[in-house]
């Protein structure tokens, strides 16, 4: 300001009163009008702050962090979709990766984010399931990055029948669509049982290409686009798994569990000195470790002459059978059986031929969700894997036939194996020869069908896997 005053004095002395007036106007333009612009800017910022304050009052938590509100909106969208397209049920899923996974690999499962069912009790039951296996139609839709549908769901090997028993809802038709946000898959939308409009009758024609087009177009509408964006926001929230009750299940995965057991091995202790008998069993454990390694198996534990193995999922790509753990596990079983007699002849030569021939190899294979955890007191914990299919496989191998080398498998495993190639169904034979008929109704075994598997169907497959 003082610089301007001094400038005015100098200009007045040199130019006179007229020039002084001109300079005064310039001063007004620079100072006063500049102040007006500053005031206008402040007013605009105040208005913006008031708008933010009002929005915060109306929505205390930003949408991307308000998972409860996002889920309500997604549920409303799924319900409206179900009504618009006359289906009995609809579900929206987001992928769930392993706790140590960066998301680059296939999901290990899919979590229910929003569910609608004509029966509210079924909705409640389905939400309690929380997580579905990666090998279902949902997982296949994600892997293929395209729509899938079937109008004979109950006979589809990708359907988990136990879900129906739990929810009391029987789906006959299913259509799954990938949900993508800005070119990236963020979820899967699935609908069930197409109905004749304004009736309670199932549309026997089922889903078609036209339904795929119509639902794809719906995803591009304002309602569909909002649902897609909300799915993206939900998936990217760091609290999503905790909100869904899955934070304790990040070490949960679907896996194939295999148990190995030598029948008659106790005769070793009567036929040989203890140290020699233990040496022979150790050699068998070495054989197991060597032969299963190429099939990407994890040895969970050796327990005397018994072994428990786990085969992980790496996503299901039908062009790569080895991505399917059911396929890898059956190849490993076939390879072990194919070389068992040779192993006994070469590595158990301290045992008589009759004694070696009397020892048989039993293998059981089951598929299902498992949790990797540490077990034991805090002072001494060991890693292990737990889950119903672990118990099921252990029970199967304990009661499998003892008079021959055998592979006994459960229903889940069969479905996953047939996904690789339907011809493998020829290798499966229904099993009912339990030593006690009541066994199949025991807590570990009930609810599933069981099959013996002819390993010879997989000798060549095992060799191809071993030698690339």
Average model confidence (pLDDT) across the chain:
85
Question: Residue 361 is inside which H or E element, if any?
Answer: strand 360-375
* Per-residue model confidence (pLDDT) at position 27: 53
Number of other CB atoms surrounding residue 211 within 10 Å: 21
Helix (H, G, I), strand (E, B) or coil at 370: strand
Residue 29 has pLDDT above 70, yes or no: no
Give the mean pLDDT of 399-417. Answer: 94
Give the mean pLDDT of 421-426. Answer: 92
* Per-residue model confidence (pLDDT) at position 8: 46
How far apart (Å, rounded) are the C-alpha atoms in residues 410 and 253? Answer: 18
- Local confidence band at 89 (pLDDT 50, 70, 90 cut-offs): very high
Which conformational region is residue 320 in: left (phi greater than 0), alpha (psi within -120 to 50 degrees), or beta? beta
| Largest pairwise CA distance in the chain | 132
CATH topology of domain 64-246: Beta-Lactamase (3.30.450)
SS3 readout for 271-339: HCCHHHHHHHHHHHHHHHHHHHHHHCEEEEEEECCEEEEEEECCCCCCCCHHHCHHHHHHHHHHHHHHC
| CA dihedral for 283, 284, 287, 292, sign (positive or negative) | negative
436, 438, 433: which is closest to 408 by C-alpha? 433
Which of 22-31, 67-76, 388-397, 410-419 has the lowest average pLDDT?
Answer: 22-31
The whole-model pTM stands at 0.62
- Local confidence band at 115 (pLDDT 50, 70, 90 cut-offs): very high
The β-bridge relationship of strands 360-375 and 252-263 is: antiparallel
Domains of the chain, by residue range, sit at: 2-58, 64-246, 252-467
378-402 pLDDT per residue, tens: 777 777 889 899 999 999 999 999 9
Contact 187, 235 (CB under 8 A): yes
Helix (H, G, I), strand (E, B) or coil at 176: strand
Contact 297, 262 (CB under 8 A): no
Helix (H, G, I), strand (E, B) or coil at 292: helix
How far apart (Å, rounded) are the C-alpha atoms in residues 397 and 36? Answer: 87
Give the mean pLDDT of 7-21. Answer: 51
* Per-residue model confidence (pLDDT) at position 266: 81
* Per-residue model confidence (pLDDT) at position 14: 47
- CATH for 252-467, options being 3.40.50.300, 3.90.1150.10, 3.30.70.1230, 3.40.190.10: 3.30.70.1230
Q: In what order do the strands lie in the sheet with 174-181?
A: 131-133, 109-117, 87-96, 184-194, 174-181, 148-150
């Amino acid at each position: 300001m003082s610089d301007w005053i001094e400038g005015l004095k100098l200009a007045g002395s040199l130019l006179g009163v007229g020039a002084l007036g001109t300079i005064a106007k310039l001063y007004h333009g620079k100072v006063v009008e500049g102040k007006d612009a500053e005031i206008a800017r402040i007013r605009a910022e105040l208005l913006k702050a008031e708008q933010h304050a009002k929005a915060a009052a109306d929505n205390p938590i930003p949408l991307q962090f308000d998972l409860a509100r996002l889920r309500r909106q997604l549920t409303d969208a799924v319900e409206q979709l179900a009504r618009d397209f006359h289906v009995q049920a609809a579900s929206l899923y987001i992928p769930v990766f392993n706790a140590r996974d960066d998301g680059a690999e296939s999901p290990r499962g899919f979590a229910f984010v929003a569910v609608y069912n004509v029966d509210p009790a079924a909705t409640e039951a389905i939400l309690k399931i929380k997580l579905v296996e990666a090998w279902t139609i949902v997982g296949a839709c994600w892997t293929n990055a395209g729509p899938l549908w079937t109008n004979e769901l109950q006979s589809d090997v990708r359907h988990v029948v136990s879900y129906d028993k739990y929810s009391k809802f029987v789906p006959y038709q299913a259509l799954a669509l990938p949900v993508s946000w800005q070119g990236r898959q963020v979820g899967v939308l699935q609908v069930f049982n197409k109905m004749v409009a304004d009736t309670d009758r199932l549309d026997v024609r089922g889903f078609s290409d036209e339904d795929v087009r119509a639902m794809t177009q719906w995803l591009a509408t304002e309602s569909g686009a909002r649902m897609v964006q909300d799915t993206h926001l939900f998936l990217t929230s760091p609290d999503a798994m905790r909100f869904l009750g899955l934070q304790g299940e990040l070490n949960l995965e679907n896996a194939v569990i295999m148990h190995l057991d030598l029948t008659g091995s106790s005769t070793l202790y009567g036929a040989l000195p203890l140290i020699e008998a233990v040496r022979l069993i150790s050699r068998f454990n070495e054989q197991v470790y060597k032969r299963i390694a190429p099939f990407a198996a994890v040895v969970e534990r050796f327990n005397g002459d018994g072994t428990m193995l786990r085969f992980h999922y790496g996503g299901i790509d039908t062009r790569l059978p080895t991505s399917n753990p059911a396929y890898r596990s059956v190849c490993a079983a076939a390879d072990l059986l194919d070389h068992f007699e040779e192993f006994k002849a070469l590595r158990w030569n301290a045992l008589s031929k009759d004694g070696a021939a009397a020892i048989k190899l039993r293998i059981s294979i089951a598929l299902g969700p498992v949790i990797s955890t540490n077990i034991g007191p805090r002072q001494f914990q060991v890693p292990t894997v737990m889950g119903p299919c672990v118990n099921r496989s252990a029970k199967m191998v304990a009661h499998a036939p003892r008079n021959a080398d055998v592979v006994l498998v459960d229903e889940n495993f069969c479905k996953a194996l047939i996904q690789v190639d339907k011809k493998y169904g020829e290798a499966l034979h229904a099993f009912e020869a339990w030593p006690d008929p009541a066994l199949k109704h025991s807590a570990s075994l009930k609810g599933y069908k069981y099959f013996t598997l002819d390993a010879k169907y997989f000798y060549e497959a095992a060799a191809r896997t071993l030698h690339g």
